[in-house]
Amino acid sequence: MAAETGDDAAVYLLPGGQGLVATVDFFTPIVDDAYDWGRIAAANAFSDVYAMGGRPAIALNVASWPVDDLPLEMLARVLQGGQDVARAAGAVVVGGHTITDPEPKYGMVALGFVDPAKVVRNSTAPAAARLFLTKPLGLGIISTAIKRGRAAPEQVVTAVETMVTLNEAASEAMVEAGAEAATDVTGFGLLGHLQRMLDASGVGAIVDAAAVPFLDGVLQLAVADVVPSGTKRNHAFLRPFTDWGELTQPEQFALADAQTSGGLLIASTDGERLVAALTQRGIAWAEIGVTTATDPGRIALTGRVQGIPPG
């Protein structure tokens, strides 16, 4: 895979003809519960393998820990969370590396396998492809609300459930349906990852803001400026490439929200086949837009985000 296209993971062709998928991801805590943090970090790392159409097989823990400030028992809970998600993904945790650091961090090196003929890339979206999203947005905003004590208990539960859900079934569906391109939605947010896909593919896109799904309460938090710095950086990055239409700044922030372990953004010219494959596996999906032959690398937003008061 070419590094310049910003693919989600590297794919190395093994002598036997199979493709080895390799990626790494780690981050600081985004929820209060150590076990949940471990689960989220593992699901997030495996997501890059799924985005390439691959299946995780092996994982290595990567952790830094303030041993003088936090108990090692807490680190054990983090690692257990990662272990449990790896088991659910059919992967084996075979080791890893931990260092002493003032700030705790955890994640994984994730390795998997893929049929080279079925690799799904972010740089191969054709014009007139329909765009689908498999998880709602708002995970960054809710994570910030947790840190500020502004998140309702049900918001925390729903956000954690969303983040620990593997993209395994969605990946299987897109491979079965022959989707032309995909990427997982993480730190660059929906529009940031879409822009990278468009730029690498040489196409543009029209996105219907009203069709984009959000977790409950996210839009109200955006109106109250409970917005992470990463989301605001995404918004600033998108400015030269995006026609925001009639969207207010809170709506724009919600659409640019930095995600952790978000869903897959899939481009398919056979949308009916993809919808059937996703639905058969019980995957929630939303059709959010279409790629265009004009304005390569640019995004045009239409409509208004559902649930945000106008003004």
DSSP codes joined into one string, 100-132: E-SS-EEEEEEEEEE-GGG---SS-PPTT-EEE
Rounded-to-integer distance, Cα 168 and Cα 183, Å:
13
Domain residue ranges in the chain: 3-118, 130-302
> What is this structure's pTM?
0.95
- pLDDT number for residue 258: 98
- pLDDT number for residue 205: 98
Burial class (CB in 10 A: 0-12, 13-18, 19+), 300: middle
- pLDDT number for residue 7: 82
CA separation (Å) from 152 to 148, 156, 248, 254? Answer: 11, 7, 24, 18
Rounded-to-integer distance, Cα 279 and Cα 170, Å:
10
SS3 category, 95:
strand
What's the CATH class of domain 130-302?
alpha beta
Asked if 189 contacts 232 with a C-beta cutoff of 8 angstroms, the reply is no
Name the one residue in this structure whose structure tokens are 């590396």: 97
Residue ranges of the alpha helices (H) in 165-242? Answer: 168-176, 189-201, 218-223, 229-238
Fill in the DSSP letter of residue 214. Answer: B
Asked if 204 contacts 297 with a C-beta cutoff of 8 angstroms, the reply is yes
Instruction: From 23, 294, 34, 57, select the one nearest 184 (Cα to Cα).
Output: 23
Rounded-to-integer distance, Cα 26 and Cα 105, Å:
6
Tens-digit pLDDT string for the chain (311 aa): 445 667 888 999 999 999 999 999 999 999 999 999 999 999 999 999 999 999 999 999 999 999 999 999 999 999 999 999 999 999 999 999 999 999 999 999 999 999 999 999 999 999 999 999 999 999 999 999 999 999 999 999 999 999 999 999 999 999 999 999 999 999 999 999 999 999 999 999 999 999 999 999 999 999 999 999 999 999 999 999 999 999 999 999 999 999 999 999 999 999 999 999 999 999 999 999 999 999 999 999 999 998 765 54
* 268-272 long-range Cβ contacts below 8 angstroms, 24+ apart: 268/129, 268/130, 268/132, 268/174, 268/177, 268/178, 268/179, 268/180, 269/126, 269/128, 269/129, 269/130, 269/180, 270/177, 270/178, 271/130, 271/132
CA separation (Å) from 219 to 48, 170, 222, 268, 280? Answer: 27, 26, 5, 28, 30
- pLDDT number for residue 41: 98
Burial class (CB in 10 A: 0-12, 13-18, 19+), 232: middle
Asked if 290 contacts 298 with a C-beta cutoff of 8 angstroms, the reply is no
- Domain with residues 3-118, CATH architecture: 2-Layer Sandwich (3.30)
Residue type at 96 in one-letter notation: G
Question: With DSSP H G I counted as helix, E B as strand and the rest as coil, what are the percentages for the chain, rounded to 5?
Answer: 40, 25, 35
Structure tokens at 100: 């002493």
- pLDDT number for residue 160: 98
Rounded-to-integer distance, Cα 50 and Cα 35, Å:
23
Host H or E run for residue 299: strand 299-302
